[in-house]
């Protein structure tokens, strides 16, 4: 099915030029144009959960190793990134603090603490249902029992959903703790109420 009209490119591909270029190169160029080196290093390390060298981060962020190291140190100082030592090499990964902070910020923008609290109860119930239904304690045990090979299968989908739900439960609980600390003002010493225990604090 050929179409007769060759419509002009739009802003998904702003880069003039009629020659045919590999889209992988095109999107990489666009990304580098649209972002600063810091944004790219931060963007990459935010999704790096396995300890990774600065050289590898630099490669993925399309910056020099020196630039990567500089920004990674800044991010380490602010708690966004944590390090481990492998001989002479420093390995970097996203910190738990960073993961929780990012998640809490988005979630609290979208949901109230009350909604999060009731959501937590639902996630726990869901996990309990799976445990009962499949008679296993964890998604890993399920994977072993079912010998799941194909992630496209229904069983693969269940495994993914369970593992995801477990992670999102932990994140929701951490978010709620931050919300509670914000509400009381105890962390900043700006609490206005006198610490009453008749308050509406949410215990999960």
Partner 1 sequence: MTSDEDVEPSHDSQPAEQAEVFGPIDAGALREIRDLVVNQEPLVEEASLDDPLNPQTLSVDLSDGVGAASTARIDIRWSLAGNYAAHYTDTQGRDFRFDCHPKPDAPTRHFHPPPDAPSRPVEPSCITVREAPLVTRAVLQRWRYAYTNGTFEGLNDAENPP
If binding is defined by CB under 8 A, does position 132 make contact with partner 1?
no
Give helix 96-110 / helix 113-134 axis angle, nearest 10°.
Answer: 110
If binding is defined by CB under 8 A, does position 27 make contact with partner 1? yes
**Residue number with CB closer to partner 1 (72 or 143):** 143
63 binds partner 1, rule: CB under 8 A: no
Nearer to partner 1, 110 or 195 (CB): 110
60 binds partner 1 (CB under 8 A): yes
What pairs with residue 86 in β-bridges?
Answer: 89
Number of residues that bind partner 1 (CB under 8 A): 65
Q: Which listed residue (136, 169, 177, 202) binds partner 1 by CB under 8 A?
A: 169
86-125 residues near partner 1, rule: CB under 8 A: 99, 102-103, 106-107, 110-111, 115-116, 119-120, 123-124
**Segment contacting partner 1 (CB under 8 A): 79-87, 150-158, 179-187, 192-200?**
150-158
In whole angstroms, the minimum distance from the beta carbon of 156 to partner 1 comes to 7
Question: Are 200 and 179 spatial neighbours (Cβ–Cβ below 8 Å)?
Answer: no
Distance CA 37, CA 153 (A): 40
46 scored as a contact of partner 1 (CB under 8 A): yes
How far lies 181's CA from each of 52, 157, 176, 200, in Å? 33, 36, 9, 13
Instruction: By CB under 8 A, tell whether 159 contacts partner 1.
Output: yes
- Burial state string for 93-116 with b = 16 or more CB within 10 A and e = fewer than 16: bbbeebbbbebbeebbeebebeeb
- Report CA dihedral (192, 194, 200, 204) to the nearest 10 degrees: 100
Which positions ≥6 away from 149 have C-beta within 8 Å?
156
What DSSP assignment string belongs to 128-180? HHHHHHHT-SSHHHHHHHHT---TTSHHHHHHHHHHHHHHHHHHHHHHHHHHH
State the minimum distance, in angstroms, from the CB of residue 2 to partner 1: 7
Binding site for partner 1 (CB under 8 A): 1-3, 6-7, 9-13, 20-24, 26-28, 30-31, 35, 43-44, 46-47, 49-50, 60, 99, 102-103, 106-107, 110-111, 115-116, 119-120, 123-124, 127, 137-138, 140, 143, 148-152, 156, 159-161, 163-172
């Amino acid at each position: 099915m050929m179409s007769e009209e060759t419509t002009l490119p739009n802003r998904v591909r702003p880069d003039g030029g009629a020659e045919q270029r590999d889209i992988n190169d095109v999107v990489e160029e666009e990304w580098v144009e649209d972002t600063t080196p810091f944004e790219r290093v931060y963007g990459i390390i935010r999704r790096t959960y396995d300890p990774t060298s600065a050289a590898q981060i630099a490669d993925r962020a399309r910056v020099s190793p020196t630039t990567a190291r500089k920004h990674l140190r800044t991010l380490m100082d602010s708690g966004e990134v944590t390090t481990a030592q492998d001989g002479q090499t420093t390995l970097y990964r996203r910190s738990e603090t960073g993961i929780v902070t990012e998640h809490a910020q988005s979630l609290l923008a979208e949901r109230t603490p009350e909604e999060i609290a009731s959501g937590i109860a639902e996630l726990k119930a869901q996990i309990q249902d799976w445990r009962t239904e499949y008679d296993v304690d964890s998604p890993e045990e399920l994977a072993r029992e079912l010998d799941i090979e194909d992630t496209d299968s229904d069983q693969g989908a269940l495994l993914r959903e369970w593992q995801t739900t477990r992670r999102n439960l932990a994140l929701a609980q951490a978010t709620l703790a931050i919300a509670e600390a914000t509400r009381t003002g105890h962390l900043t010493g700006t609490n206005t109420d006198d610490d009453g225990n008749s308050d509406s604090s949410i215990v999960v």
